[in-house]
Structure 1
Amino acid sequence: MNDTFDLFAQSPERLDANVVFQAAGLGFWEFDPATSMITWDDRTGRLFGLTRENQLPYARFIAHIHSDDVDRVHTAIQQALNTHHGEGSFDQTYRTIGERETRSRRIRFMGRSSVDETRQITRLAGVAFNLPDESQPDTQWQRDPHEPFQQLVEQAPAAMALFSGPQLTVTVANKPMLRYWDRTSEQVLNRPLLDALPSAFGQTIYESVRAVLTTGEPAVLSELAVSVPRHEGPEHLYISLSLEPFRDAAGTITGVLAVGHDVTELVTSRQLVEARRIELMAAVDAAEISIWSLNVQTEQFRSNDRMKTLFGIPNTAEASIRFFFDRIVEEDRQRMLDSFMHALQYESGGRCEIQYSILHAVTGQKRTIRSRGQTQFDSEGIAQRFSCIAQDITVRQQAEEALRTSETRFRTLANSIDHLAWIANADGSVAWYNQRWYDYAGTDSRHKKGWGWQYVYHPDHVDRVVAFVTKAWQQGEPFELTAPIRRHDGVYRWFLIRGYPIRDAEGNVQQWIGSNTDIDEQKQVEASLEAQVRDRTAQLQVLVQNLQRSNENLRQFAYIASHDLQEPLRKIQQFGDLLKSEYNDQLGSGTAYLDRMQLAASRMSTLIRDLLSYSRIAIQPDSIQLVSLRQVIDDAIADLSLLADEADSTFRIEPLPTISGDASQLGQLFQNLLSNALKFHRPGVQPVVTITCVTVPADALPDSARSVRVADAYYRIDVSDNGIGFDEKYLDRIFQVFQRLHTRSEYAGTGIGLAICSKVVANHGGAIIARSQPGQGSTFSIYFPRD
């Protein structure tokens, strides 16, 4: 059994010994020299007949050993505890006496002492097993020491394998280990490790196994990743492999024993815990939370880096709870200490929540801290650990203070203004009025807060007001309306009510702020103006009726002018022509009188036609439609073709727009302008008429061309000639009726043509101006609004 001594001398936790020993019928025991206490598992207890306890002082324990064996056992234990004797091992077979047993048992105890860094014995531990044949207790083990070990390995639920000799030949491998390797026993037994396991797993453990064989020092390969084939797919496991030197009876290392433990659940749990820890720390960092904890019994203090930064301690420096308490300002320190000590009392529930100020260790800056902590107590109510989080609320406190200051200023301002001011909750219930409100409405409790504001509105208007503001509150939109509000003396005055929503960062309405402005005098003025408007409207209606009658009279005059007045003139001309044709020889000098009579009649007829045209244009356009100015000008030139041909005239026309207007009136406009350009040409000079168009902004209009209709931009049509021109001192006369700059003997005409042009342009919402110099021609600029 000495061959397996190194295996069993290790801690049971390391080799999963509880499982292995149970399968092999082995018990575990441990002796603590410091306390002289012996501890054992249930199996060892049954071997001793001690089933009620698992721990006894050495003096009581040794009483259960046969008296003939006590000295030998005591001496062996003392030698094992003395590091100068051998290897500190213990191997004794002796008889035990149970508490209620009449016969003794022969038990073999094997163990080894463990030492610390100073070579001091810390414990003596090992295994115990019952010898089945009391008469020959050691014969079977001495005859075949490997046989019970091989049975132990094969029966053990833990994965176990033995690598023997310089080639590390696989001499033993149980089923759990073969499952990890994904091999059969035929594939690995009696083959060198690298031949049996050429995979990455074999490569991983080879060097470590070789080192244990060479040095005799145990090794542990932690958390090796293993992929085990399954029907549903490979299963990924983690195992920890313990490597122990395997010795023969002489103590020579002949191989390496490997024991594998499935730590998949442990690894995945740790990974999950680590992931949760990372998430928690990320949340802590995001929330800018400082953390510290104190082991109340050992005074061990721990904190995160943010806590150190908050108090001004380098991250690499160690800190104590005393240092942190010393950073608390003097006026808060005792209060914080009292709160902390109170939380350590079980009766307090262990909770601590307090706000205090600190002074930064480096900058001396004062910061405000809010801490929340909780104490953990043991089963007896004794404080064990205190954990606490701390948040720097300096900025928030400053913001709150600024908000309070702002609110104070607001209320001061609101109370000093002449308006009635109020603040309402999101649902419209009023939470605050300024002093001006109470001065006006009084202090009646019915309309102080909440929905009591309804009582101050005029009964005839309150339903309208409530419906209006309720809709505005539901929609979250600013509102404005007017209504009469009762003064404290019962008098109602009109107010302009305005409300504006105050929203949070998500856009949700949190409050409403509003004002009521006294507009009673304005309302009275409006009422007076409305009365005046009604009176003026009535007067305008009378004027419109008179204008309509005047227009009707004009239409009747136009009919008379076109029929009754023109008829005698036509008779005069016709009879004059008859007299000249039939009695020309007899008239003699009377022919000249007839010519003068007919010329006067013709002038009168032309004057009547021009007046008729002017009167029609003065009334309104006949029809409005889209009109091409180029087409209008082409038609006018065609009508003037005889006059143009006689003077050998030239027309230069640039692209022209299409505008909304009356085609007939626009035709008269351009026919008059072109006719004047041809009529007033310079003798011996070929008439040249140029028509251009540009777009100009409203602010570019000259003062003399203020349009009737306002527009953003205008078309400027320039009609220019190279005629005789005129002096610009007559600009205020040329667009008036019957105004002439030349005698009839020089140039024919009635003096109405340009007046007609001005009226046509005005009817189209435009303006017309002229520029000229004597002997240098004239330019007439027409401005039409660009729609």
Structure 2
Amino acid sequence: MDAAGIGIWSLAPKSSMLFLDDTSRALTGCQLTGWFGFTELMHFIDPQDYPLLREAIDAVLLSASAKRLEYTFRTRQLTDGQYRWLRMSGQPRSVDDNALHIVVSQIDMMSGQPRSVDDSPLLGGIMQDVTAETIRMRFKRSELGRQTTFLQNALTIAELGTFEVDLETATARYSDNVAGWFRLPANVALHADTFARIHPQDRTMVEQTIAQSLASKEQCRHDVIYRINGSGTGDFLYLRSIGQVLYQDDKPAKIIGIIQNVTAETLATQQVRQAQSALEDAIELAALSTWTLAINEGTVSYSQRFMDWLGFSEATRPLDEAYNPLPEPYRQTVAAALKATWQPGSNGRYDNEHPVINRLTGQIRIIRAQAQVIYDAAGKPLRLEGIAQDITEHRQLQQELERQVNERTVRLDNLIRELRESNRNLEQFAYVAGHDLQEPLRKIKSFGDLLKDRYAFQLGDGVTFIDRMQAAAIRMSGLISDLLTYSKVTSRKETATHVSLNQVLGAVLDNLELTLQETDAVLHADPLPQVWGDRFQFGQLFQNLISNALKFRRTDIRPEIRITCREVSAAGLTLPAAMPLPASGYYCIEVSDNGIGFDEKNADRIFQMFQRLHGKNQYAGTGIGLATCQRVVANHGGIIKATGMPGKGAVFTVFLPKEESAG
């Protein structure tokens, strides 16, 4: 035994006297010989292991029946800082063990002492160095613990738990996370208590699934998903249980398996199904068809509606046959367009419009097909997923609308030509009529003058009638002149250009110089901008506005006319609905006077043709001047407004667009 490194020891229980042979002393590092107190051994055993060794020995001695001692402990640290692990094996001498009798006999011979120093049965056995074995075992346990921890962490991350059901006792053991999901108070519970926490609508399904797995060895596995009220607040958890029935003596004994929390996956799947259902409903509502072109397989699959359009009876057809419903001129272009979508550099989108012919009925439809290329993880094109819409009615309606538009465009062009011809005739008529009408009026005035010069004495009071006749002729002449002027500004001329309003105003003031002197009027004018338009028409605008201010002056104060200009934005203007699109900015030109003014309830009326607020005996005029002003401003994309107060003067505000293209 010495050669094997195995020592011998013996313990007298009552006196706690211990004997170690040479090998045992060498193993423990104890130098004491013969019998010595057991407590002395504590100086050579690790302090954490000594009381545990004592407890193990006492447990053997106090046992009602003989028990074998088997305990591994550490010695105190060696000189190299390491431990030596020793195993004490033994049992009471009274046990009928031939090997032990031999050991105890050897102890008696070596100690030279009586076989029991206190007349009590000895506890004896062997001691051996198990350091290498223990280190290997501890490493295995550590590795097993590490792997167990790793597996537990993996199960936790994957939201997996374990269960074991004992069919004989009807109890189940669960991992901590499973017990938490079921809100069980402990890891061990009655199997019925667990079932009670399954959603009532799922309970029967789970029971039937497990019953099927217990029915025979061939169907000893179950896999089922069900709901439980995991939080106790009405929020469900979805669990997946996968189990295997274990048999003992050809009878089902246990069910073991795993349970996974699949709530997130199940809810995501439900959302996908709902989205898919909504998409299918939308496709059905929009009367769309779906199709898939498998690039590598060279096949096209159609939805039922698409098959009905084409007259196909099979949902999947070879790509070559898919071109058959196309009219001959379209086959090559459609094939090229499809192939281009999965070529390198393409955005993978397909959008094409073409007719198809039902091969059974011959019905022709116009469809719009759209698709997107789907790629694999490596970026290689797999298939085209697409939709198609029957746009036959839409295209027919569009063609009908285009026909009507073209027809009306021709009619409108004819009307425009007729209108232009009518305008030219009207302008020519107005010009000729104006001149022809002026000639008789001039003769009436001239003959009136001759009558007064030659026959005034003979006519007596009749001269008054001649004066009234001549006055009427003069008014008629003025009316004809104003009408001719208005006719010239009823539409924009082709003479539009950049116009300096300062120069226009200067020319008007030259024309009105004598009137300004006779009325002793004062005129103040701000610098005016350059605008795009017709110089003649702008001249008529200022001519009429200033003439009106001089005509309707007060007699008790000196006439004063003020012309101002500022820039404004379109946001602050209220434009008539019939006006073209507004400009981004306008010039606001105001012509104000201190004349007799007017009642603002007549603000719109004064711009109407032949409308007068005063009798012809009070103020001369034809009622055309302000109508001409309004026409000029409208021709140039602007607006004109008038405000006033009786006895306080009037203000005419003109808004002209700043852009060159306005008007």
Query: Aligning the two structures, in what range does the TM-score lie when normalised by the shorter sequence?
Result: 0.5 to 0.7
Out of 81, 85, 94, the position equivalent to 1:241 is 81
CA displacement, residues 218-275 of structure 1 (integer Å, 9 cap, x when unaligned): 3699xxxxxxxxxxxxxxxxxx93489xxxxxxxxxxxxxxxxxxxxxxxxx999999
Q: 1:617 to 1:361 in 2, by over 3 A?
A: closer
Residue identity matched to 1:290: L
1:475 matched to 2:347? The reply is yes
- Does the 8 Å contact 1:336/1:356 carry over to 2? no
1:353-372 correspondence runs (5 A): 354-357=223-226, 363=232, 367-370=237-240
- Does the 8 Å contact 2:606/2:626 carry over to 1? no
Aligned counterpart, 2:409: 537
Residue identity matched to 1:396: E
Out of 89, 106, 113, the position equivalent to 2:20 is 89
1:310-389 correspondence runs (5 A): 310-313=181-184, 318-319=187-188, 329-333=206-210, 354-357=223-226, 363=232, 367-370=237-240
1:32-71 correspondence runs (5 A): none
Aligned counterpart, 2:634: 762
1:102-501 correspondence runs (5 A): 116-120=53-57, 121-122=69-70, 218=76, 241-242=81-82, 287-292=157-162, 305-313=176-184, 318-319=187-188, 329-333=206-210, 354-357=223-226, 363=232, 367-370=237-240, 390-401=259-270, 403-404=272-273, 407=276, 411=280, 417=285, 419-422=287-290, 424=292, 431=301, 433=303, 435-445=304-314, 454-461=323-330, 475=347, 482-487=353-358, 488-495=360-367
- Does the 8 Å contact 1:709/1:766 carry over to 2? no
- Does the 8 Å contact 1:355/1:368 carry over to 2? no
Question: Percent of pairs identical after alignment?
Answer: 28
- Does the 8 Å contact 1:707/1:783 carry over to 2? no
CA distance in 2, matches of 1:408, 1:369: 24
CA displacement, residues 404-445 of structure 1 (integer Å, 9 cap, x when unaligned): 466457656755x47243254797986552x54455443443
CA distance in 1, matches of 2:505, 2:321: 74
Q: Could you tell me how far 1:709 is from its partner in structure 2? A: 0.9
CA distance in 2, matches of 1:764, 1:780: 17
Aligned counterpart, 1:710: 581
Secondary structure of the structure 2 residue equivalent to 1:445: coil
CA distance in 1, matches of 2:319, 2:261: 37
Q: 1:337 to 1:534 in 2, by over 3 A?
A: same
CA distance in 1, matches of 2:432, 2:142: 112
What RMSD in Å do the two structures reach over aligned CA positions?
6.7
Higher relative contact order (CA 8 A, sep 6+): 2
CA distance in 1, matches of 2:356, 2:468: 85
CA distance in 1, matches of 2:539, 2:418: 31
- Does the 8 Å contact 1:80/1:87 carry over to 2? yes
- Does the 8 Å contact 2:294/2:384 carry over to 1? yes
Q: Could you tell me how far 1:311 is from its partner in structure 2? A: 3.6
- Does the 8 Å contact 2:519/2:550 carry over to 1? yes
CA distance in 1, matches of 2:562, 2:606: 24
CA distance in 2, matches of 1:631, 1:271: 106
Out of 657, 672, 682, the position equivalent to 2:544 is 672
Aligned counterpart, 1:179: none
CA displacement, residues 63-103 of structure 1 (integer Å, 9 cap, x when unaligned): xxxxxxxxxxxxx825379896754422169xxxxxxxxxx
Q: Which shows bigger deviation, 395-404 or 676-685?
A: 395-404
CA distance in 2, matches of 1:429, 1:682: 95
Residue identity matched to 2:20: S
Aligned counterpart, 2:63: none
- Does the 8 Å contact 1:707/1:765 carry over to 2? no
Residue identity matched to 1:331: Q
CA distance in 2, matches of 1:639, 1:282: 103
Residue identity matched to 1:289: E
CA distance in 2, matches of 1:353, 1:643: 114
CA distance in 2, matches of 1:648, 1:283: 107
CA displacement, residues 329-384 of structure 1 (integer Å, 9 cap, x when unaligned): 533445678999999xxxxxxxx99444475799598754346799xxxxxxxxxx
Secondary structure of the structure 1 residue equivalent to 2:596: coil
- Does the 8 Å contact 1:499/1:513 carry over to 2? yes
- Does the 8 Å contact 2:9/2:20 carry over to 1? no
Q: Could you tell me how far 1:669 is from its partner in structure 2? A: 1.7
Q: 1:432 to 1:303 in 2, by over 3 A?
A: farther
Q: 1:339 to 1:305 in 2, by over 3 A?
A: farther
TM-score by length of 1: 0.48
Q: 1:758 to 1:311 in 2, by over 3 A?
A: same
CA distance in 2, matches of 1:278, 1:451: 59
- Does the 8 Å contact 1:80/1:90 carry over to 2? no
Give the number of equivalent residue pairs.
530
Secondary structure of the structure 2 residue equivalent to 1:218: coil
Secondary structure of the structure 1 residue equivalent to 2:537: helix
Out of 376, 389, 414, the position equivalent to 1:516 is 389
Q: 1:87 to 1:672 in 2, by over 3 A?
A: farther
CA distance in 1, matches of 2:561, 2:341: 65
CA displacement, residues 24-82 of structure 1 (integer Å, 9 cap, x when unaligned): xxxxxx99xxxxxx966xxxxxxxxxxxxxxxxx9xxxxxxxxxxxxxxxxx8253798
CA displacement, residues 450-505 of structure 1 (integer Å, 9 cap, x when unaligned): 786654444444555566677789536695x654333451121345667799999x
Secondary structure of the structure 1 residue equivalent to 2:362: coil
1:753 matched to 2:628? The reply is no
- Does the 8 Å contact 2:293/2:383 carry over to 1? yes
Q: 1:430 to 1:39 in 2, by over 3 A?
A: farther
Out of 571, 574, 581, the position equivalent to 1:701 is 574
Residue identity matched to 1:618: T
- Does the 8 Å contact 2:369/2:389 carry over to 1? yes
CA distance in 2, matches of 1:273, 1:638: 115
Q: Which shows bigger deviation, 332-341 or 510-519?
A: 332-341
CA distance in 2, matches of 1:391, 1:588: 129
Q: 1:774 to 1:309 in 2, by over 3 A?
A: same
Q: Could you tell me how far 1:679 is from its partner in structure 2? A: 1.4
Q: Could you tell me how far 1:511 is from its partner in structure 2? A: 8.1
Which ranges of structure 1 fall in alignment gaps of 5 or more residues? 1-29, 32-37, 41-57, 59-75, 94-107, 127-216, 222-239, 245-269, 344-351, 375-385
Q: Which shows bigger deviation, 705-714 or 494-503?
A: 494-503
Q: 1:407 to 1:536 in 2, by over 3 A?
A: closer
CA distance in 1, matches of 2:4, 2:163: 35
Q: 1:687 to 1:534 in 2, by over 3 A?
A: same
Secondary structure of the structure 2 residue equivalent to 1:531: helix
Residue identity matched to 1:90: D
Q: 1:123 to 1:536 in 2, by over 3 A?
A: closer
Q: Could you tell me how far 1:717 is from its partner in structure 2? A: 5.4
TM-score by length of 2: 0.56
Aligned counterpart, 2:596: 723
Aligned counterpart, 2:118: none
Aligned counterpart, 1:257: none
- Does the 8 Å contact 1:710/1:785 carry over to 2? no
CA distance in 1, matches of 2:294, 2:533: 56
- Does the 8 Å contact 2:301/2:316 carry over to 1? no
Residue identity matched to 2:402: E
